Structure formats: C-alpha cells, structure tokens
Amino acid sequence: MDLQLLAAALAIGLGALGPGIGIGIIGGKAMEAIGRNPDAENQIRTNMFIGIAFAEAVAIYALVVALIIKFV
C-alpha cells in the first residue's frame, strides 16, 4: 500500500468536493437570476464567471498539493 499515491488521490478527491458544490450553487443562482431578469443576462454571466473562478481556485489549491505529493 503506497501511502504517497493514496495521499495524492485523497488530496484532490476530497478537495474537489467543496468547490464542485460551490460552483453548482453559483451556477444555479445565476440561472435563477437570469430567469427573473432576462435583460441582465450579460452582467449576470460575467459576474458568474468571476465567482466560479474563485470557487475553482480552491480546487486548484488541492490539485497543486496532490501534484506536490506525487512528484516532489
């Protein structure tokens, strides 16, 4: 049982849970907002992408830790 491989897999596996849910929530709220106010679609979409980039950044931190565990 290679602990290093297990650690890398767990790091990214568990680390992607939170951001996955977060991005889903952001996307859902953006859909709701567009449904309520279709004229503001462009604004909402732009801000949604910015929100998604932040949520994704946390997943990227987890990925970097996994890569460090595996390759360093």
Partner 1 sequence: MTISLAAEEVLHLGGFPVTNTLLTGFLVSAFLVIFSFLVIRRISLVPTGFQNIVELLIESFLDLVEKVSGSQKRRFFPFVATFFFFILFSNWTELLPGVGSLGFWREGQGEKVFIPFLRAATADLNTTLALALVSVAAVHILGFRELGVGKYLSKYFKNPLKEPMNAFVGLLELISEFAKIISFSFRLFGNIFAGEVLLIVVAFLAPLIAPLPFLGLEIFVGFIQALVFSLLTLVFLTMAVEEAH
Site residues for partner 1 per CB under 8 A = 49-50, 53-54, 56-57, 60-61, 63-64, 67-68, 71-72
Task: Find how far residue 55's CA is from the centre of its chain.
Answer: 5
Angstrom distance (rounded) from CA 34 to CA 64: 34
Q: How far is the CB of 2 from partner 1 (least distance, A)?
A: 18
Q: Which is nearer to partner 1, 31 or 60 (CB)?
A: 60
**Residue nearer to partner 1 on the CB measure, 6 or 49:** 49
